[in-house]
Amino acid sequence: MSTLHGLPEWGRCAVMGVVNVTPDSFSDGGRWFDTAAAVKRGIDLVADGADLVDVGGESTRPGASRVDEDEELRRVVPVVRGLAAEGITVSVDTMRASVAERALAAGAVLVNDVSGGLADPAMVPAVAAADAPFVVMHWRGFSHDMNDRAVYANVVTEVVDELRARMDAVVAGGVAPERIVLDPGLGFAKDAEHDLALVAHLGDLNALGRPLLVAASRKRFLGHVLAQDAKDGRPPRARERDAATAAVSAIAAHEGAWAVRVHEVRATADAVRIAHAVEAAR
């Protein structure tokens, strides 16, 4: 189990609940678009067993175009403030330094950047200046054409190498190594086989020596696997992938992940506890 400077110590794989304040996110777009509904959703996720809540205002679904900065701020900052006021540990999911800064000022304690600081050159300096914990995800480019970048000779070694290079750049930019969390970026410039290979080799990512965040929740690769046994051969809808998500949460926890990021918390909260108990019984 890895620990992370600047955040509570949960003693097991943590559960990060997701609140997407967007009209168009892949699995829950439009559901928590209003500030009050989004804050209530975050409170409900904590009641269900989330240890922290990740608030995002930009959809990164494949093919998505970018939201403008003012709109992202309008979506995210009041929700962060509302959740922090409830004493909830809040993370902000953004690729923009300005949004990260305003969210930290509003009470967020972790910056989750799916681009690992690549999308906005001001992000790494902003995170360094705030001395905030920082999630660095494996990323090869914006969502509008990321599927074209899903080309690997060996996805596991390439993701490990690219994450290591990114981590080195972030540290060179002033972020303390002990504040960095790494994330393989399931579904980002990856097809189903790539995602499965990464889940199968999470131990290789542990070799990077930093806490790992695994975000499989409702993603396409789960639908791809489940479609193979479906009567109509079609993948279940995103919201019908929560049991599959919990299965990955158990695997990730077993492999020592620091946290799993999920839309539906209850099953995953149980999964990480069972994984922890099994580990303790060894």
Rounded to a whole number of angstroms, the minimum distance from the CB of residue 104 to ligand PMM is: 17
Checking 36-42 for CB contacts under 8 A at 24+ apart, the result is: 38/79, 38/82, 39/78, 39/79, 39/82, 39/83, 39/86, 42/17, 42/79, 42/82, 42/83, 42/86, 42/88, 42/90
Measured from the CB atom, the residue of 56 and 82 that comes closer to ligand PMM is: 56
CA-based angle 59:64:68, to the nearest 5? 65
Rounded to a whole number of angstroms, the minimum distance from the CB of residue 56 to ligand PMM is: 6
d(CA 43, CA 40): 5
**Residue carrying the six token digits 């999964």:** 271
Measured from the CB atom, the residue of 191 and 279 that comes closer to ligand PMM is: 191
Rounded to a whole number of angstroms, the minimum distance from the CB of residue 54 to ligand PMM is: 7
Measured from the CB atom, the residue of 201 and 218 that comes closer to ligand PMM is: 218
Which amino acids are annotated catalytic?
219, 261
Measured from the CB atom, the residue of 149 and 279 that comes closer to ligand PMM is: 149
Rounded to a whole number of angstroms, the minimum distance from the CB of residue 203 to ligand PMM is: 19
d(CA 206, CA 130): 26
Give the neighbor-by-neighbor strand order of the sheet with 14-20: 180-183, 134-137, 110-113, 90-93, 52-56, 14-20, 259-262, 213-214
Measured from the CB atom, the residue of 199 and 269 that comes closer to ligand PMM is: 199
> What's the token pair of residue 56?
């995002």
The closest residue (CB) to ligand PMM is 215
Rounded to a whole number of angstroms, the minimum distance from the CB of residue 138 to ligand PMM is: 9
* Residues making contact with ligand PMM (CB under 6 A): 18, 20, 25-27, 59-61, 93, 112, 114, 135, 137, 183, 185-186, 213, 215, 218, 261
**Residue carrying the six token digits 């705030």:** 130
Region for residue 63 given its phi and psi (left: phi exceeds 0; alpha: psi -120 to 50; beta: otherwise): left
d(CA 23, CA 181): 28
Measured from the CB atom, the residue of 26 and 221 that comes closer to ligand PMM is: 26
Please, is 131 exposed, middle or buried when counting C-beta atoms within 10 Å of its C-beta (0-12, 13-18, 19+)? middle
Q: Which residues pair with 266 in a beta bridge?
A: none
> What's the token pair of residue 153?
């000779």
Rounded to a whole number of angstroms, the minimum distance from the CB of residue 143 to ligand PMM is: 9
Residue 100: how many other CB atoms lie within 10 Å = 27
